[in-house]
Amino acid sequence: MDQKTKTIIIIVSCVCGLAIVGIVALLISMSHLRKENEEKDREIFNLNEQVSFEQSQAVLRFDDEHALDEQLQTFEHLKVDNDSLQQLLDQQTEHAKELVSQIKKLRQENSSDKARINALLKELADVRELIMGYIRQIDELNQQNQALTAENEQVKQENQQMRRENTHLTNQNQQLTETVTRAKQLDVTHFEMTPLNNRDKKTRYLRKTVKLQLDYTIGKNITTEPGLKTIYLRLIGPGDQLLGESESKVFDFEDGQVPYSLKQEIEYAGEVYHGTFYWPFSGEAQEGTYRVEFFADGNQIGQYSFLLD
C-alpha cells in the first residue's frame, strides 16, 4: 500500500469517528430536552389539576347551597307512613333551612369569615347526606311496600283461587249429595186405577162406580234405608180440588205442610213393592180427569192421571 492510500484511510477514519461522537452527543442532548419537557408538562398538568379542583370545590359549595335550596321545597312536601322517619326528616329539613339562611346572610354581608362559611357548608353537606339517607330509607320502604303489595296480591289471588276451588268442591259435594238423595228416593214405577161397584167388582159404568182401587208399584232400591215407610196419596178431582181435604190430614213437604187424601204405612225392604189404596166416593162419582200424587220421606215419588167417563 502506497503512502497516498494510507493517508486517505486515516482521513476517512477520523471523519467517521467525529461523526459518531457528534451523533452520540446529539442523542444525549435530545434526551435531556425530552426529560425537561416532560417535567414541565407534569408541572403544568398538576397546576391545571389544582386549579380545576379548586374551581370544582367552589362550584360544589355554590351548587350545594342552591341545589339544597331547591331540594328543600321537595323535602317539605315529602310524606311517609313511618312516623319516626317522618319526624327525623322534618327535623333535618328544618335544620337545613336554617343553615341555608345563615350562609346566604353571611354571603350577602360579604363576610370575611371564610372559616365560618366553610363550617356551615360542611354542616350543610352532612345534613343533606342525612336527608338523602332518609330518602334512601324511604325508597327502600317503598320497595318493601311494593313487594308486600305484590305478595299480598299474590296471596289474594291464591285465596280467590282457593275459594273458587272450595266453591267447586262444595258444588260437587252438593251434587253428590243430591245424587245420593235421589238415589235413595223411592219411585212409583207403575200405577193403575180400577173403578169398583158396590160389590167391589170392576165396573165400566160411571153411575155404578162407588169406589176406586188405586194400585201402585214402588221400584227396587237397595240404597235407601229399609224399614217402615209412610206413603201419602193426594187424589185431585176434575174440579182441581183435593178429595178428602182436612186440616188434620197434612204432612211435611219442603218448607211447609201439604194436605193429603190417604196414607198407609208399608214395610219396605229395598225390593219391588206392590200396594193398593181405596177411595170410596161419598156421593156419585164425577166424570172427568183425575190426578194422583204419591209422596214419601219428604219427596214426591210419583204422579199419574186417569179419566172417568
DSSP string, 257-305: EEE-SEEEEEEE-SS-EEEEEEEE-SSPPPPEEEEEEEEETTEEEEEEE
Cell numbers placing 196: 169398583
The reply to whether 183 falls in a domain is: no
- Give the residue, 34 or 302, on which the prediction is more confident: 302
Contact between 93 and 76 under an 8 Å Cβ cutoff? The reply is: yes
pLDDT of 189 over the 50 cut = yes
Q: Look at residue 214 and tell me if it is in a domain.
A: yes
Read off the pTM: 0.48
Q: Which CATH number fits the domain that encloses residue 208?
A: 2.60.40.10
Residue that is written with C-alpha cell 224399614 in the block: 227
| Residue 257 belongs to some domain of the structure | yes
Q: Which residues contact 302 (CB under 8 A, 6 or more apart)?
A: 187, 188, 189, 191, 216, 292, 293, 294
Binning pLDDT at 50, 70 and 90, where does residue 295 land? Answer: very high
Span between the terminal Cα atoms of the chain, in Å: 174
At residue 54, does pLDDT exceed 60? no
- Give the lowest-confidence range in 20-29, 145-154, 181-190, 290-299: 20-29
Task: Report the domain count for the chain.
Answer: 1
User: Does the pLDDT at position 55 exceed 50?
Assistant: no
293 domain residue, yes or no? yes
The rounded distance, in Å, linking the Cα atoms of 93 and 20 is 78
Q: Which three cell numbers stand for residue 18?
A: 467525529
8 A C-beta contact, residue 65 and residue 121? yes
Residue ranges making up the domain that contains 290: 188-308
Banded model confidence at residue 289, pLDDT cuts 50, 70, 90 = very high
Task: Please report whether residue 259 resides in a domain.
Answer: yes
From 237, 217, 232, select the one nearest 300 (Cα to Cα).
Answer: 232
Q: Residue 58: what pLDDT? A: 37
